[in-house]
A and B are shown apart, each in its own frame.
Chain A
């Protein structure tokens, strides 16, 4: 779910005392990794308790050993993730290093989650064209109410990244492969 900011004067009950406030939940454009992991735990508990559908997607850049993500690429990837998400989705950094991006999709069944993953891939590709960014592997995990812990979800996401990835590539690489096809 995207956090919305309104001036404190229009929302007195949310006025941050002593510098506390919604900005503390963010790390740049996205939710901070500690907060999205906290919410993932909550969402899984909720899905299990009420039998509600829940899906999660993770995008990881495919980098060469000597390659690092430039700030422009990171910014673009974050923007692509925000564009792909619905207002009720939660978008944040999966790790402290601001490399992998995680989107939590509450109330989302498998078919809709697949559509969301395809939309995210397209957004990543479109944004990747602007900055000639790296390839991004996107892993999708649905029916999260079957998972009992965040660690299991993390392991399953890594497994999916290696096995069933949906890849958003650099424009040149994408066109090369189209030519081959």
Chain B
């Protein structure tokens, strides 16, 4: 258990006041005890004042630390989209390019998935449900975002195209009316733009069918 300096200072002050009261009563009967008690009370007051002063000198540092923490968490928010809490579209584009570079350099699998509610007229409730599913069910290493107009995107690093039906099946088991399309790095393109275009075309075809 830790006790703050402010609490110690208040305790020392209270003790000093108590000792002074005792000294006042003792002065009526035994003057030497009163002198000793007054000295003790003075020491207590000095201690309390030092502790209080130190506490005050730590305050700017603590405040700075707190403000810095808040600023850090505030700045983190810029990469998220306001309505869904998923990553913002500009950040997804940036990460998409990074992931393609990495997949190409280290010859790793990667897939890109687009998801839309079954109906284009689906309201906010359907979109919110999808956003919630994506944030809860994708792996921590996947990057999910909202592109606007009801379209969601997920970049799935280390994922072969053959593994994506499992994710889609899970999604469909919870949200019935949903359209999906997947593009695989290598097969459908080697850049984010290529993969996005391939997946968007696939989505368009599935909606038309």
Residue-by-residue, is A1-34 near B (CB-CB < 8 Å gives 1, otherwise 0)?
A: 1011000000101111100111011000000111
Cβ-based interface call for B68 (8 A) = yes
* A106 & B102 in contact (Cβ 8 Å cutoff): yes
Q: B90-123: which have CB < 8 Å to A?
A: 90-91, 93-94, 97-98, 101-102, 105-106, 108
* A34 & B101 in contact (Cβ 8 Å cutoff): no
* A16 & B90 in contact (Cβ 8 Å cutoff): yes
Cβ-based interface call for B4 (8 A) = no
> Which residues does chain B contribute within 8 Å of A50, judged by CB atoms?
141, 158
Closest chain-A Cβ to B191's Cβ sits at a distance in Å of 11
Cβ-based interface call for B9 (8 A) = no
Inter-chain residue pair count (beta carbon < 8 A): 68
* A107 & B79 in contact (Cβ 8 Å cutoff): no
Cβ-based interface call for A88 (8 A) = yes
A180 CA to B180 CA, complexed, in Å: 68
Closest chain-A Cβ to B143's Cβ sits at a distance in Å of 9
Cβ-based interface call for B147 (8 A) = yes
A33 CA to B101 CA, complexed, in Å: 23
A11 and B93 in contact, given A46-B157, A50-B158 (Cβ under 8 angstroms): yes
A46 CA to B95 CA, complexed, in Å: 15
**How many chain A residues touch the partner (CB < 8 A)?**
30
Q: Could you say which of B72, B89, B102 contacts A107, with CB atoms under 8 Å apart? A: B102
Residue-by-residue, is A92-134 near B (CB-CB < 8 Å gives 1, otherwise 0)?
A: 0000100000000011000000000000000000000000000
* A34 & B90 in contact (Cβ 8 Å cutoff): no
A49 CA to B137 CA, complexed, in Å: 16
* A107 & B106 in contact (Cβ 8 Å cutoff): yes
Cβ-based interface call for B12 (8 A) = no
* A42 & B141 in contact (Cβ 8 Å cutoff): yes
A24 and B94 in contact, given A42-B141, A46-B157 (Cβ under 8 angstroms): no
* B101 & A13 in contact (Cβ 8 Å cutoff): no
Closest chain-B Cβ to A87's Cβ sits at a distance in Å of 6
> Which residues does chain A contribute within 8 Å of B158, judged by CB atoms?
46, 49-50, 52
Closest chain-A Cβ to B20's Cβ sits at a distance in Å of 43
Q: B76-92: which have CB < 8 Å to A?
A: 76, 78-79, 88-91
> Which residues does chain A contribute within 8 Å of B139, judged by CB atoms?
49
Q: A61-94: which have CB < 8 Å to B?
A: 87-88
* B76 & A1 in contact (Cβ 8 Å cutoff): no
16 new A-B contacts at CB < 8 Å, known A25-B79, A88-B105: A1-B102, A20-B78, A20-B88, A20-B90, A24-B78, A32-B75, A34-B72, A34-B75, A42-B140, A46-B158, A49-B141, A50-B141, A88-B102, A96-B72, A106-B102, A107-B105
Please list 6 pairs of residues, one from A and one from B, whose beta carbons are closer than 8 Å in the complex, sorted by A's number: A13-B196, A14-B90, A14-B93, A25-B79, A34-B76, A45-B141
Taking Cβ atoms with an 8 Å cutoff, the residues of B that contact A are: 68, 72, 75-76, 78-79, 88-91, 93-94, 97-98, 101-102, 105-106, 108, 139-141, 147, 157-158, 196
Q: Which 10 A-B pairs have the closest CB atoms?
A: A14-B93, A14-B90, A46-B141, A107-B106, A24-B78, A34-B72, A1-B98, A50-B158, A45-B140, A13-B93
